[in-house]
Chain A
Amino acid sequence: MIKDLILGFGMAIFSIVSLLESRNLVSANKWDVFGPDGFPKIVAYILLALSIILIVSSLRKVNPAKNKFSLTKLEVVVLLSIIAYVLLLPVIGFLIATALFILSIQLLLTYNLKKTMISMVITSLVVTGSVYIVFEKFLNVNLP
């Protein structure tokens, strides 16, 4: 299956990168048989081995299932909005960014625009407000 193949390669790359990076680490010495590089290396090797098994077995698979990794447009938009939201946080501050975010996602997802408009706006404001208050006052967290 193509999905597994990609996953296998991805993991293999991940483990190889880890191994390469761990060369930069100091090696073991007399007292510390493992050293800071020991454990990560072992784990990376295991992961590499597992990825190779995955790659091999997915190549051997008889059924060429076309399970593509499909993302619907809506999901992509949601994901991008999350990224945009986080990018905007330091710029326009938590209150405004969050209120806008909640409102826009609701707009994207709601069934019936006219009926729910008011409740959506109220929700955005109320939720943003309460989260802000709880975090700032009760937990002493300084949101951006």
Chain B
Amino acid sequence: MSVIGQAIAEVMSFSALFSMFAGTLVGIIAGAIPGFTILMAIILTLPFTFGMDPVVGIATMIGVYVGGFSGGLISGILLGIPGTPSSVCTVFDGHPMSLNGEPGRALSLGVLSSFFGGLIGALICILIAIPIARFGLKFGPWELFSLMLFALTLIASLGSSSMLKGLMGGMMGLLISTIGIDPIGGRLRFTFGFTELATGISFLPIMIGLFAVPQLLKSVKEIQEGKKKMLSGEAIDDIRINNSIHIPWIKTLKELYKYKLNLLRSGAIGALVGALPAAGGSTAVFIAYDQAQKFSKDPDSFGKGNPNGIIAAEAGNSGVAGGSMIPTIALGIPGSNVAAVMLGALMIHGITPGPMLIKNEPVLTYSIFIALIAAHFIMLALLGVGMKGLIRISNAPKYAVVPVVLSLCVAGSFALNNRLFDVWIFVAFGLIGYYLTSVGMPMAPIVLGLVLGPMVENNLRMAMMTNPDPTLFFTRPISLVFIVLTVVSLAFTMYQNYGKNRKKII
């Protein structure tokens, strides 16, 4: 119990709270600006957290995470443009409601649903994570290896449209992670004479490059298209938002109570889907929205401004935050892209995630739980008070956002080790990422391979060193289960792709 007390003290300390406020605000703003994804926000926040205590750093990132999911609703409802991929469903009913003259109601529905949905996610996380971790403590290197293998194939197969390319990406990530000093033997690998590579390529500039550059260049393309339209005389959707929006908080609270079943169900769906390593915010939201429509007495009104649509969408996407932390904390397997980045952040701070995390770092673990809860309150406060300002921000012009973010990327990459080499890594992987994205290779498996690589290798080698018998991977029951799951997920995806469209197996 004293551990919880200590965790509360650490999270509630002034510096931690201040950081969390800043983080949540950053997350909300990032979410509100279309084209700036939550993933990018977290990746860019990482460098800022280096100097911080691990607890404060992670708490801040959780703030960004939570804020990000909610920020997307602003531009989604008012402009019809989702601020983040996970706010797509919010647009379906939020935007029509806004156009019908009730933007304030839509906004408040969204914010409050995010709040409650997210709390449900956090609650589920707290309840389930620890028992799962206890189970995970029984894992030896064989089980951990098979588990990570399963996670990699899951993300590669289900999380992307092309299984083959996803797997290739994962392998690429694994290979790149081997650059540097071999952890067991102590010998240099793949350094090609670059002394800077002796400690391995830091994954942060790689991640920033792989995710940010393609996304930003996409924005550039969109700007170009907008320019073309302008020149040819077509109207652009340059909507200026009327700042005098009234937000009926109390009325909405009552409305939410009326639809509490939807709220609870959507939040839970968000959490549970988010807990699956392959699925993230966008997947969870669609499932939650779909379920809400199926359970509704008036399914045809969905898409035209049904409040339940907004509730389902926002509760669903906020539940993901807590849910995705479950496998991340309990097993060291990230529940989403963003969680993968947080895993990386932990490693940078010198903490090894995995089932041992709760045992080795109980304060940190409980702090994560508390931060999850606190962040939602902060988010509610910020959105409630700052709505007017945030509405202005979501109008931020793309031509300004692109260069600003790029310079942040540069600064962030540099800040890691204070060397220009890392910035060049960012540039290199930015180009690589842009190329790969345009040929249809998903970035997530690459990053996962990069982050999990060292652990995968270590477990494999430790297993073999402890007992050179390779059949142990199959005879140990838990390990066998994961291997079977790996094969099943690969087979299932192949069947889906092959069955659906004979030409498109790749």
A binds B: yes
Tell me the bound Cα distance from A32 to B186 in angstroms: 12
Question: Cβ of B465 and Cβ of A128 under 8 Å apart?
Answer: no
**CB-CB < 8 A to B398: which residues of A?**
109
Q: Is B2 an interface residue (CB 8 A)?
A: no
Chain B interface main SS type: helix
Query: Which of the four size classes fits the interface of chain B?
Result: 35 or more
Look across to chain B and name the residue whose beta carbon is closest to the beta carbon of A128: B407
Query: Which listed residue, B400, B410, B461, touches A89 by the CB 8 Å rule?
Result: B410
Q: Is A53 an interface residue (CB 8 A)?
A: yes
Tell which of A39, A120, A143 has the most Cβ of chain B within 10 Å.
A39
Tell me the bound Cα distance from A44 to B431 in angstroms: 22
Task: Give B69 Cβ to nearest chain A Cβ, in Å.
Answer: 24
**CB-CB < 8 A to B471: which residues of A?**
none
Look across to chain A and name the residue whose beta carbon is closest to the beta carbon of B413: A86
Question: Cβ of B505 and Cβ of A40 under 8 Å apart?
Answer: no
Interface positions, chain B 154-193, Cβ under 8 Å from A, are: 164-165, 167-168, 171-172, 174-175, 178, 182, 184-185, 187, 189-190, 192
Task: Give A16 Cβ to nearest chain B Cβ, in Å.
Answer: 12
Q: Is B424 an interface residue (CB 8 A)?
A: yes
Question: Cβ of B220 and Cβ of A78 under 8 Å apart?
Answer: yes
Look across to chain A and name the residue whose beta carbon is closest to the beta carbon of B406: A82
Known: A36-B189, A38-B461, A109-B223. A123 touches B164 (CB 8 A): no
- A 51-86 binary contact with B (CB < 8 Å = 1; else 0): 101100110011100000100101100110011011
Look across to chain B and name the residue whose beta carbon is closest to the beta carbon of A67: B439
Question: Cβ of A83 and Cβ of B427 under 8 Å apart?
Answer: yes
Look across to chain B and name the residue whose beta carbon is closest to the beta carbon of A139: B51
Q: Is B13 an interface residue (CB 8 A)?
A: no
5 closest cross-chain pairs (CB), A and B: A105-B403, A109-B399, A36-B182, A47-B171, A102-B403
Residues of A near any B CB (own CB < 8 A): 3-4, 6-7, 11, 14-15, 18, 21-22, 25-26, 31-40, 43-44, 46-47, 50-51, 53-54, 57-58, 61-63, 69, 72, 74-75, 78-79, 82-83, 85-86, 89-90, 94, 98, 101-106, 108-111, 116, 119-120, 123, 127-128, 131, 134-135, 138-144
Q: List 14 A-B contacts (CB under 8 A).
A: A21-B190, A36-B189, A63-B503, A78-B220, A79-B430, A79-B431, A101-B403, A102-B403, A104-B403, A105-B399, A109-B398, A111-B230, A116-B397, A128-B407
Residues of B near any A CB (own CB < 8 A): 47-48, 50-51, 164-165, 167-168, 171-172, 174-175, 178, 182, 184-185, 187, 189-190, 192, 217, 220-221, 223-224, 226-227, 230, 397-400, 402-404, 406-408, 410-411, 414-415, 418, 420, 423-424, 427, 430-431, 434-436, 438-441, 456-457, 460-461, 464-465, 468, 503, 505-506
